[in-house]
Amino acid sequence: MPPLREIQEAFHAAIFQNDTRLNNQITERNGLSGGTRLNIYRSSVLGIQTDALAAVYPVIQRLVGEPFFRTIGRDYLRKHPSPSGDLHQLGAQMSGFLAMLTAVSELPYLADVARLEWAWHRVFHAANDTDLDLQALANIPAKKQAGINFSLRNGALLLESDYPVHRIWEVNQEEYADDETIDLAEGGVHLLIWRNGFELRIDPLE
């Protein structure tokens, strides 16, 4: 019998790369061949993970359509399998994947919309921070104030784009019922994606 590591690598290749090396090594059961049983497992794994991607990238799915999203979602999963068992970590490379995908080259803003959705996802799941203690800050001696460094809290991210991605994101929300006009000529934006308690916000910055 091959080492466990080789079996695990072959199984991973069977699920994500349609590798057939294990087909004859899996026992037939209930009239289902080893290859058929692998296909069932592959369909289940890719289906669950594609659903997870759709939950993170609902605007991308709406822009390209659900059938096409599921197709590119499976392609993404084959090229970028998650290193984590946590489904919340799935999809971190989607923006770069879309930027290189010729099938969506007519939507040049798509990769940046994915960056915005991933930022929203990260902020939503970020650990809570302790509020800044203003009194402690005020008590720092003047001679030490030059050494103070401020950083964004866990539930806040900055994003820069050459496109008005916040408007694209806004008009593609299910509950949106206002003016759907988007002018790509508006140019780029600088955005702060942040969480205030349980409220998530996207604020354009000057």
pLDDT digits 0-9 by tens, 42-69? 889 899 999 999 999 999 999 999 999 9
- Which pLDDT does position 184 carry in this prediction? 87
Cβ atoms of 189 and 166 within 8 Å: the answer is yes
Cα–Cα distances in Å, from 43 out to 14, 37, 52, 67, 124? 11, 10, 14, 15, 29
Please indicate whether residue 110 or residue 85 has the higher confidence score (pLDDT).
110
Containing H/E element for 64?
helix 58-64
Report, as an integer, the average pLDDT of 88-113. 95
122-143: pLDDT as tens digits: 999 998 888 888 999 999 999 9
CB atoms within 10 A of CB 133: 9
CA distance 114 to 61: 10
The predicted structure's pLDDT at residue 196: 86
The share of the chain scoring above pLDDT 70, in percent, equals 100
Look at residue 57 and give its three-state secondary structure. Answer: coil
Residue 190 has pLDDT above 90, yes or no: yes
The answer, yes or no, to whether residue 176 has pLDDT greater than 90, is: no
Tokens at 45, concatenated? 């794994």
Instruction: Report yes or no: 119 and 159 within 8 Å, Cβ to Cβ.
Output: yes
The structure tokens listed for 192 are 């702060």
pTM: 0.85
* Alpha carbon distance 151, 11 (integer Å): 43
